[in-house]
């Protein structure tokens, strides 16, 4: 603090080991604190005390003596008064990202001291004191890529002369290449019968991503990708009471570092107590339309394996709608308008059929709507013919169909049916025999009508001579889940398949088949019901073999 008690700051560049503090008052005690600046940290201080000399008292005594000698020795010639010094030019050099060196000249005379003034990045005025013999000073602590204006004043006696000025722009910050990151320790926690949570540390640096590798119960290698910001992941789909070894690799640029490893044994399945017999609650009808009724029921206690809804149609024929055990509602379609129906719901538990619980409902009267015009089938052609598959393509010149069916006879003469959704205009028929002539019939389903067929012939190609190794199915996952569709994706670790088929049961419990060509690794299954759990099985067709399935569950 100066003689008036105001705090003062003298910046010094990092290479210096000494500095002259000018502008102090004589015969005054000062305490000096030195701080070191390292990155964004402020270290220290280290301190010392000093008392300035009685300079002005000594100067006053000398001045009085000089006056006395002047009057005594009047005959001596008068000395010439000292000329006022003159500042020259101020220049900037040695510009870095956080400091600038200033240099100046003094054209005439000498100064007692200098001061450099400027404003920092926050706009606050800063002062750098410099002793009178210096002709340069380094101003530290600046911000990169910023323009500064520096004013230099010369102090001569009680006068402040100047300023002389210069502008300078600090350099951009130097980016050091990041050091290679380091993997720490891998541990396993939250172990259940079918999953293990892995956690790891990164003592130094950052990774772009991670991969966890292990072998499943069949000995097949599995890979779990993890983003670079994560430090834990849960590995699902494990088998109970089994030892697994997990290897974690860190991906940094084009390098794969590691692994770090850990072992874990999944928990054993607890012995299940025999469940008590479930109880059916009440059955009600809602959302009654002219040709459908939604049924809802409760299960006050226990769980059922599945349910069946029984009723008689408009012709008096008994009908059955199967429903999975997790559902509590189902829509019964295909009813006739303005008709009373009695619905019986049975719950199936093991080998027992419990119930029924019943309800009556009258379908609504049919609203008069203009019937849509009947759609028209165009032409059916065959393309992409291989030894075991044919791709069929067709056109619909007018209108839209609800769905299509392709019919043909296989090598044994048995009729085969391939269902196709109404938005498709092509399908690949898999599982054919090589060097064989097939006739394909395509029907269009429109409401309760089946239109067509349109037909085409195709002969499959000769079989390939070189036997291919049997391909392997990887993992099946569900994504892009909406209220009425689910996208399925799968991997093929080895080999190629001629085609795939996805099998599942719809909301009425009826089995559905979605054929997929062998080059695809994903398919969107449409026409699903909202808020419903589905189990999807994927089979791979390879020659005359059907391999698999691999399975996954998803809820719309």
Tens of pLDDT along the chain (556 residues) come to 888 887 887 887 787 888 888 888 888 888 999 888 776 566 888 989 898 876 434 433 434 334 333 333 333 343 444 789 999 999 999 999 999 999 999 999 999 999 999 999 999 999 999 999 999 999 999 999 999 999 999 999 999 999 999 999 999 987 767 789 999 999 999 999 999 999 999 999 999 999 999 999 999 999 999 999 999 999 999 999 999 999 999 999 999 999 999 999 999 987 666 678 999 999 999 999 999 999 999 999 999 999 999 999 999 999 988 888 999 999 999 899 999 999 999 999 988 999 999 999 999 987 765 667 899 999 999 988 998 999 999 999 999 999 999 999 999 988 998 888 999 999 999 989 999 999 999 999 999 899 999 999 999 998 766 566 899 999 999 999 999 899 999 999 999 999 999 999 999 988 888 888 889 999 898 889 999 999 999 999 988 888 999 999 999 9
CA distance 539 to 502: 7
Strands 293-297 and 283-286 turn out to be antiparallel
Domain covering 283-362, topology:
Immunoglobulin-like (2.60.40)
CA distance 527 to 445: 15
Q: Whose CA is closest to 393, among 347, 438, 440, 348?
A: 440
Distances (CA, A) of 388 to 290, 411, 440, 463, 468: 45, 11, 14, 8, 14
186-265 carries CATH number 2.40.40.20: no
- Residue spans per domain, the chain: 186-265, 283-362, 380-459, 476-555
Residue 101: predicted pLDDT = 97
| Rg, the chain, Cα only | 45
CA distance 477 to 348: 30
Burial of 287 (0-12, 13-18, 19+ CB in 10 A): exposed
Residue 466 has which token pair? Answer: 């070189």
What count of other Cβ atoms lies within 10 Å of the Cβ of residue 473?
Answer: 22
- List of residues 6+ apart from 52 with CB closer than 8 A: 24, 25, 26, 27, 28, 30
CA distance 264 to 135: 71
Secondary element (H or E) of residue 56: helix 55-72
Check if 186-265 and 380-459 are the same fold.
yes
Residue 383: predicted pLDDT = 87
CA distance 199 to 532: 34
Domain covering 380-459, topology:
Immunoglobulin-like (2.60.40)
Residue 81 has which token pair? Answer: 């008064």
Residue 12: predicted pLDDT = 79
- List of residues 6+ apart from 196 with CB closer than 8 A: 188, 189, 190, 234, 235, 238, 244, 246, 264, 266
Residue 69: predicted pLDDT = 32
Distances (CA, A) of 25 to 34, 54, 294, 457, 549: 20, 9, 97, 111, 93
Distances (CA, A) of 135 to 115, 125, 130, 447: 12, 22, 9, 98
Residue 273: predicted pLDDT = 66
538, 542, 547, 552: CA torsion to nearest 10: -20
Residue range 476-555, CATH number: 2.60.40.10
Residue 70: predicted pLDDT = 38
Give me the phi and psi of 53, to 5 degrees please: -70, 165
Provide the edge-to-edge strand list for the sheet that holds 196-200: 186-189, 196-200, 232-235
Q: Which residues of 502-528 are buried (b: 16+ CB within 10 A; e: fewer)?
A: bbbeebbbeebebbbbbeeeebebeeb
């Amino acid at each position: 603090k100066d003689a008036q008690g105001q705090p003062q700051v003298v910046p010094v560049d990092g290479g210096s080991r000494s500095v002259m503090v000018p502008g102090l008052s004589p015969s005054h005690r000062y305490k000096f604190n030195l701080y070191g600046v390292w990155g964004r940290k402020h270290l220290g201080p280290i301190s010392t005390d000093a008392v300035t000399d009685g300079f002005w008292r000594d100067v006053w005594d000398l001045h009085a003596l000089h006056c006395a000698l002047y009057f005594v020795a009047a005959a001596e010639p008068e000395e010439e008064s000292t000329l006022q010094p003159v500042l020259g030019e101020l220049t900037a050099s040695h510009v870095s990202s956080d400091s600038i060196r200033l240099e100046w000249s003094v054209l005439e005379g000498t100064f007692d001291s200098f001061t450099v003034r400027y404003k920092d990045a926050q706009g606050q005025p800063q002062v750098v004191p410099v002793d009178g013999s210096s002709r340069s000073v380094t101003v530290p602590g600046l911000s990169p890529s910023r323009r500064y204006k520096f004013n230099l004043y010369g102090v001569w006696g009680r006068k402040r002369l100047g300023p002389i000025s210069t502008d300078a722009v600090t350099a951009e910050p130097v980016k050091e290449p990041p050091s290679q990151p380091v993997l720490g320790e891998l541990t396993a926690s939250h172990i259940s019968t079918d999953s293990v949570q892995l956690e790891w540390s990164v003592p130094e640096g950052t990774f772009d991503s991670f991969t966890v590798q292990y072998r499943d119960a069949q000995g097949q290698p599995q890979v779990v990708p993890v983003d670079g910001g994560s430090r834990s992941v849960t590995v699902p789909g494990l088998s109970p009471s089994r030892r697994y070894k997990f290897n974690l690799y860190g991906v940094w640029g084009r390098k794969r570092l590691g692994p770090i490893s850990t072992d874990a044994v999944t928990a054993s399945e607890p012995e299940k107590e025999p469940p008590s017999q479930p109880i059916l609650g009440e059955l009600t009808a809602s959302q009654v339309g002219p040709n459908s009724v939604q049924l809802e029921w409760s299960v006050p206690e226990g769980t059922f394996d599945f349910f069946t809804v029984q009723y008689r149609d408009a012709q008096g024929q008994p009908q059955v709608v199967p429903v999975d055990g997790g559902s509590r509602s189902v829509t019964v379609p295909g009813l006739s308008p303005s008709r009373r129906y009695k619905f019986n719901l049975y719950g199936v538990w093991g080998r027992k059929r419990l119930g029924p619980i019943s309800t009556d409902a009258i379908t609504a009267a049919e609203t008069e709507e203009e019937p849509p015009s009947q759609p028209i089938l165009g032409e059916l052609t065959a393309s992409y013919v291989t030894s075991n598959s044919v791709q069929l393509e067709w056109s619909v010149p007018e209108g839209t169909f609800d769905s299509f069916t392709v019919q043909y006879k296989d090598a044994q003469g048995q009729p085969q049916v391939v269902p196709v959704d109404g938005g498709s205009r092509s399908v690949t028929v898999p599982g054919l025999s090589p060097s064989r002539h097939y006739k394909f019939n395509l029907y269009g389903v429109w409401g309760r009508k089946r239109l067509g067929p349109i037909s085409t012939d195709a002969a499959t190609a000769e079989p390939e001579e070189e036997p291919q190794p049997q391909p392997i199915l990887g993992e099946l996952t569900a994504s892009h889940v909406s209220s009425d569709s689910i996208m399925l994706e799968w991997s093929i670790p080895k080999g190629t398949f001629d085609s795939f088929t996805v099998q599942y049961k719809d909301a009425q419990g009826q089995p559905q088949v979605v054929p997929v060509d062998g080059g695809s690794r994903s398919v969107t299954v449409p026409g699903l019901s909202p808020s419903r759990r589905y189990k999807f099985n994927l089979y791979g067709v390879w020659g005359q073999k059907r391999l698999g399935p691999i399975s996954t569950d998803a809820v719309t």
